[in-house]
Structure 1
Amino acid sequence: MQTLEKDIIIIGAGPIGIACALECKKRNWDYLVLEKGALTNSLFNYPLNMTFFSTSEKLEINEIPFISNNPKPTRSEALEYYRRVTTSNKLNINLYEEVQSINKTNHHFKVISNTANYIAKKVIIATGFYDIPNLLNVPGEALPKVFHYYKEAHPFTLQNIAVVGASNSSVDAALEIYRKGGKVTMIVRGDAIGDRVKYWVKPDILNRIEEGSINAYFNSEIMKITATEIIINTPSGEKTLPNDYVVALTGYRPNFKFLANAGLQFSEDNKHIPEYNPKTMESNVDGLYLAGVICGGMETHKWFIENSRIHAKLIAHHIEQNQN
């Protein structure tokens, strides 16, 4: 396997990874972005009809205008924007190349992927959190009828669907499946629909629940999944419901094992926030930087594209200062 030398390896080709690549290109650094999936892989895997909470100008990177048909852009518009930013700037990105390990040796990093070995002076990790779902950990979760990602409603028409969760993704899925003819039951661990649900969507889901178009069990959890039913624990006792599919949108988490193997340290509470300097984004490992959503650990709602775009500039500025 060949070994290539680079100034900087960026891991992850999401919006923040692309922003980091743009900063490297400005400074004529020899960089390479490695992405295990498609370009902006997390956005690609979002629901087909998703609309962003943020407006288009807040999703812009490197001051490149993002023009959308409406103030809040759609998934397809975001994919087009980041794709055009990447291609028009001729960014150096290897897609479908998965990084397997990062090791610091002396003053360099050895980065091993599934196709090549790299030696880099600096490494930026911008991998997000969307690849590992939070599991229910109940019997039957491995059945093919259980999904931890939601793409579109059509396959669920005329079916009994359990949607687990009360976040934006759960609410969007429940409403879309209901409107495409699915029979939707929401299973919610808390006592209400989530506080961060989009303000223009929340009245819709509350009204659908109140009128009985969508059933909802609050303070409830799935205990078991079978081929034709689910058993849930509710405040009034166990209930067995007919079920064809379970859409468990219970959130996602970063790949903590990958980060720990690279030498990162984490907060000792359940937030599991990686250690880094917020002024420079450098981690506890010298020369290893964090960018984007991954900085929040289990607090995956803390960082978004709009408030982590600045990470790319902070990292580039720190690297530049250390060169002088």
Structure 2
Amino acid sequence: MKTEFDMVIVGGGPIGIACGLEAKKKGLSYLILEKGPIVNSLFHYPSNMQFFSSSEKLEIDEIPFISNEAKPKRDEALEYYRRIVTSNKLNINLFEKVENVQKNENVFTIISDKATYISKQVVVATGFYDLPNLLNVPGENLEKVVHYYDNPHYYSGQKVAVIGASNSAIDAALECYRKGAEVSLIIRGSEVGKRVKYWVRPDIINRIDEGSIKAYYKTTIKSISKNHINLTTPDGEIAIENDFVLALTGYKPNFNFLEKLGVNISNDTKKLPEYNPDTMETNVAGLYLAGVICGGMETHKWFIENSRIHAKMIVKNIISSAITTS
């Protein structure tokens, strides 16, 4: 098995796949390492999820994405990206987790849970979906509390508290309500998030206004117990009966992994990694970032549709750098 490459790509999501496609087109030797199945993060999206973007904006390498509706569902995206990987015979190792990356002089040693590889360049395209933003309250470790939502059928007939005001939380609240759950929506701010999908936002507001879903605004979680969730509201502390808590408060990149690689991270709340926006190369020579991981905690700024270009930028810079140094 080949263990030395021009480029090792950590992460087999849409942008990691795009990087692999571009490397193959330009004649670079490459390997994609993905800790789960193909597009692991998309696989863990809710089963009924519909993308905000239309299908053509999710396309990579100008390969057509045909969906039943203008905005595709999760399973259509899984099929699309899987077919790209298989039909292009991309060099990808699945269910192989990268544990460490070390740089010695001008080469990187990539250590996974299965093998060790040598590469001239490394591209980190790991996204941000692996680490949820925790509530950090007593009771968060109870089995009834989940940070990833899949299917509303599970919650039918149950008292469900959904925490959050973004797309994932609002979708979950509406789906659980329509499958027969008694839904409470806990929102830290004063309103439903402005970035909620434009065709969904009126729906949730109407359900709240008619009393079908109980919303608690300007409210935080004090603690969670077996049968209740304890809230701090503008009118004081209250406890509501509760069977399940869907803590859908967003996710964040693996900053520890980036810092271990030597990437500088800004000292503010944005926690932006340092990279050249023209080449996507970080402060560590030969180490590149691609996709939503570039946004730090500003996870709403980068999507598939506006980070697809990273693949071409990275490979172009790798090739031009090789020519310059040769």
TM-score per shorter chain, which class? over 0.9
Matching residue of 2:191: 192
Q: Residue type matched to 1:215 in 2?
A: K
> Can you give the 5+ residue segments of structure 2 that lack an aligned partner in the other structure?
none
Give the structure 1 partner of residue 5 of structure 2. Answer: 6
Residue identity in the other structure for 1:274: P
Matched, 1:183 2:182: yes
Identity between Structure 1 and Structure 2 (%)? 62
CA distance in 2, matches of 1:208, 1:201: 11
CA–CA separation in structure 2 for the residues paired with 1:283 and 1:101? 17
Note the residue ranges of structure 1 that are not aligned, 5 or more in a row: none
* Contact 1:3–1:117 (CA under 8 A) maintained in structure 2: no
Quick one: which amino acid aligns to residue 4 of structure 2? Answer: E
Say whether residues 1:276 and 2:275 are aligned partners: yes
Offset, 1:297: 0.3
Which residue type is aligned with residue 189 of structure 1?
A: R
Instruction: Give TM-score scaled by structure 1 length.
Output: 0.99
Assess if the C-alpha contact under 8 Å between 1:3 and 1:119 holds in 2.
Answer: no
Aligned pairs for 1:126-165 within 5 A: 126-165=125-164
Instruction: Give yes or no for the alignment of 1:94 onto 2:93.
Output: yes
Q: How does 1:21-100 map to 2 (within 5 A)?
A: 21-100=20-99
Task: Report what 1:214 is aligned to.
Answer: 213
Distance 1:47 1:285 in 2: 36
Q: Secondary structure at the residue paired with 1:175?
A: helix
Moved more, 185-194 or 24-33: 24-33
Partner secondary structure for residue 267 of structure 1: coil
Runs of 4+ in 1 over 3 A off after TM superposition: none
Q: Is the 8 A contact 1:13 1:93 kept in 2?
A: yes
- Corresponding position: 1:103 with 2:110: no
The SS at the match of 2:100 is strand
One-letter amino acid of the counterpart of residue 183, structure 1: E
- Match for residue 294 of structure 2? 295
Q: Letter of the 2:154 partner, please give it.
A: P
Instruction: Name the residue aligned to 1:315.
Output: 314
- Give yes or no for contact 1:177–1:184 (8 Å, CA) kept in 2: yes
Task: Tell me how large the CA RMSD over aligned residues is.
Answer: 0.9
The Cα offsets for residues 37-92 of structure 1, whole Å up to 9 and x where unpaired, read as 11101100000010000000000000000001111011011000000011000000
Deviation, structure 1 residue 3: 8.7
Return the offset for 1:249. Answer: 0.2
Question: Contact 1:97/1:114 (CA < 8 Å) preserved in 2?
Answer: yes
Q: 2:266 and 2:223 mapped to 1: Cα distance?
A: 33
Residue type at the aligned position of 2:248:
L
Counterpart-to-counterpart distance in 1, 2:220 and 2:40:
30
For the residue of structure 1 that corresponds to 2:239, the secondary structure is: strand
Provide the aligned length of Structure 1 versus Structure 2.
Answer: 323
Question: Aligned partners of 2:318 and 2:74: how far apart in 1?
Answer: 33
* TM-score, normalised via structure 2 length: 0.98
